[in-house]
Amino acid sequence: MTAADHPDRPDRPDRPDRPDRPDRPDRPDRPSEGPRVILVGPPGAGKSTVGALLAERLGVALRDTDADVAERAGRSVADIFVDHGEEHFRELEAAAVENAVREHPGVLALGGGAVLRESTRRLLTGRPVVFLDVALADAVRRVGLDTARPLLAVNPRQQWRTLMEHRRPLYTGVARVVVATDGLTPEQVADAVLDALEPTRA
């Protein structure tokens, strides 16, 4: 029996409403969906400042996963570290990153240690991740390394060096592009980020 036997039921192999078509633009699992830019890097890299500039230029919102964790927990990141330890904070952070990557269409700034979780690194695969690299001297100038940062509380300069020795390969591993921020203004860093991502947006 063919379509000619049923003129009211034509054979339409290319129906646009077929759920199994691979070119549907609304598939939720497409890696192209999600944040326009995801910033990673250590303390002092300028993720929040540069993120705000990028959000303004792109006409989107900025979201910070450290702020998400603090809001959800009802206490500061430093207090979470003191009261519950780093492992508990990392669990909250991983959940916050996953939610933000799935939900947020703008600019996303991740906490410095978010890349420590393998699940987070997998989640970032194929996404527009930018590693804002920074030298110790610039990090000190920007934040002083004497602020309320739990992992830098004792001998902050040496702690920062140790953190970077461990984390640098993780940052570069998830990043689509690396932007060296040394000696640059936040505006110049934002320009460099947009210039670096431009070829990948086509």
Residue 46 marked ligand-binding: yes
Pick from 86, 97, 121: nearest CA to 34: 97
Q: Where are the beta strands (DSSP E) in 83-157?
A: 107-109, 129-133
Residue 26 marked ligand-binding: no
Residue 66 marked ligand-binding: yes
What is the enclosing helix (H) or strand (E) of 35? none
Residue 48 marked ligand-binding: yes
CA count, 13 A, side-chain hemisphere, 113: 18
Residue 149 marked ligand-binding: yes
First to last CA, the chain: 46
What is the enclosing helix (H) or strand (E) of 168? helix 156-174
Residue 15 marked ligand-binding: no
Residue 45 marked ligand-binding: yes
Residue numbers in the known binding site for substrate are: 66, 90, 112, 167
Annotated binding site: 44-49, 66, 90, 112, 149, 167
Could you list the residues known to form a binding site for Mg(2+), using ranges.
Answer: 48
Write out the binding residues for ATP: 44-49, 149
